[in-house]
Amino acid sequence: MAQGDNSNISQDMAKVEEQQRLKYLEFVQPDVETVEGTVKSVVRPVYDKYHDVPVELLKFVDTKLDESVTRLEKGYKVASVVVPTAAYCSDKYNQTVVGGAEKGYKVAAYLPLVPTEKIAKVFSEQRTEMEPLVSES
């Protein structure tokens, strides 16, 4: 009889554990369904648009995208070298024009100044935006 009591207790404990799991699922399920619905609403249009596209075409596009990213990274490296040099030369030009105007050279009054502050602002904003798209491994 002791075995019968033990099996009943085991079954009762299993039922209690199952009820606790179900209560947890009832609590979590609406959040999961909300996330699932959001993901489906975002992914479904992309899937519908591209599921008929041949894999080879997708591979071709991916290759071209990788090449473009590589070119952008190289361009960024070149710009990081050229921009400081151009800034230095522009500053020297501006100093020469201002100095010429102060000395009374009439031609200097007609020469435009390079807006170095604006250019520096543009490139400093781009530097924060230009993060690598792919990590280098």
CA atoms within 13 A on the CB side of 60: 5
pLDDT for residue 93: 92
How would you write 58-79 as a 3-class SS string? HHHHHHHHHHHHHHHHHHHHHH
How far is the first Cα of the chain from the last one, in angstroms, to the nearest whole number?
67
* Token representation of residue 41: 């609403």
- Give the model confidence (pLDDT) of 17-59 as tens digits: 877 776 666 666 677 778 788 888 888 887 787 777 788 887 8
d(CA 21, CA 37): 23
Neighbours of 97 (CB within 10 A): 19
From 2-16, 47-61, 67-81, 113-127, the region with the lowest mean pLDDT: 2-16
* Token representation of residue 79: 């710009």
CA atoms within 13 A on the CB side of 82: 6
d(CA 82, CA 123): 12
Instruction: Give the residue extent of every domain in the chain.
Output: 1-52, 53-132
Backbone torsion region of residue 104, taken as left when φ is above 0, otherwise alpha when ψ lies between -120 and 50, otherwise beta: left
pLDDT for residue 82: 84
Residue 83 identity (one-letter amino acid)? V
pLDDT for residue 4: 58
- Give the model confidence (pLDDT) of 102-129 as tens digits: 999 999 888 999 998 888 887 776 555 5
pLDDT for residue 75: 80
pLDDT for residue 50: 74
